[in-house]
Amino acid sequence: MIVKTFSLLPSTFSLPSMTTTILSTTIGRFAPSPTGPLHLGSLVTALGSYLLARQGGGQWLLRIEDLDTPRVIPGVADDMLRTLEILGFQWDGEVLWQSRRGEVYAAALERLLDQGSAYPCGCSRAEIARIATAPHSGDEGPAYPGLCRNGLPSGKIARSVRVRVSDEPICFQDGLLGEICQDLAATGGDFVIKRADGLFAYQLAVVVDDAESGVNQVVRGADLLSSTPRQIHLQRLFGYTEPDYFHLPLVTDPDGTKLSKRDNAVSLAASRDLEREGHLLLFDSLHFLGQNPPLFLRDASCAEILSWAVAHFSLDAVPRMPGPFPLHS
């Protein structure tokens, strides 16, 4: 078992309560952000999540995470949908758009405020950075020192909303990486769930969306591994059942650096001829996931490749470490 620890040492709307719901079907999802064209890393994630959900006879949902509107590029979401269609992916139900769910997130936020699990914060990032004493920081900068935890200090005006964390580590069993533990208080402190610009934060939206959609299997890239404990913390505050998590290895350049979206796009918008090379991209993605597809599949259709992959997908064969994308085409 691989054990990893992240720490600083070296309203009227009724939200679902997933603790009372028994799910008999696997429900997975793919949730790209339309801030750039689909790229090799997101293709690997789409494929891995699709295969793991379908292999268990489950559903595969599609969600467009267009919540961060200033970063959304017009037309990219439609291009993503068309790209996935050409590559043979078939999703269940309607596409969920985060940008259309503000009222749902507002209700979730009010629920946390009402139960005392969240509070308004008047601190800016610059202010937090000036007073931070911790030698390390989390994904969102230095650990929040809790200046507004017991109420807004005199002269401060609420800018954002934060959720309270405890000093008890959050641990979970990742389906690929084993036990993961993170000390939320040490690595980031109380984290933002509504931003100073008025937008709801990713951590809140993804937890609410997964619960409302019945998602019980989350397969995504390892770059989101450190977000998972925060999301589990929110799930526990809401009383949701925690999904099973699987964090796939990241696709890197040959020198080990993470691929950029711009230079590794696999979408129609990037002038890829997917009708001609889409099946090769799927074939190579299977190789990256350690599946060793038979050579005859290089000449098969996207639908045939996906059908073979669903029947033969082996989680044990998936690499645990990042690596370069094996272009056999």
261 as an active site residue: the answer is yes
Q: What counts of helices (H) and strands (E) characterise the chain?
A: 9, 15
Catalytic residue among 156, 194, 258, 261: 261
- The answer to whether 55 and 310 have CB atoms below 8 angstroms apart is yes
**Between β-strands 323-324 and 217-221, what pairing exists: parallel, antiparallel or unpaired?**
unpaired
* Distance, C-alpha 138 to centroid of its chain: 17
Long-range CB pairs of 129-135 (<8 Å, 24+ gap) are 134/8, 134/186, 135/8
Q: How far apart are CA 69 and CA 34, in angstroms?
A: 9
Q: How far apart are CA 302 and CA 294, in angstroms?
A: 14
C-alpha distances in Å from residue 146, one per residue of 45, 136, 283: 36, 16, 49
- Closest by CA to 15, choosing from 213, 230, 198, 233, is 213
| Residues in Cβ contact with 146 at an 8 Å cutoff, skipping those fewer than 6 apart | 189, 190
What b/e sequence results for 168-192 when a residue is b if at least 16 CB atoms lie within 10 Å of its CB, and e otherwise? ebbebebebbeebebbbbbbbbbbb
The residue assigned the tokens 């084993």 is: 178
Active site residues: 261
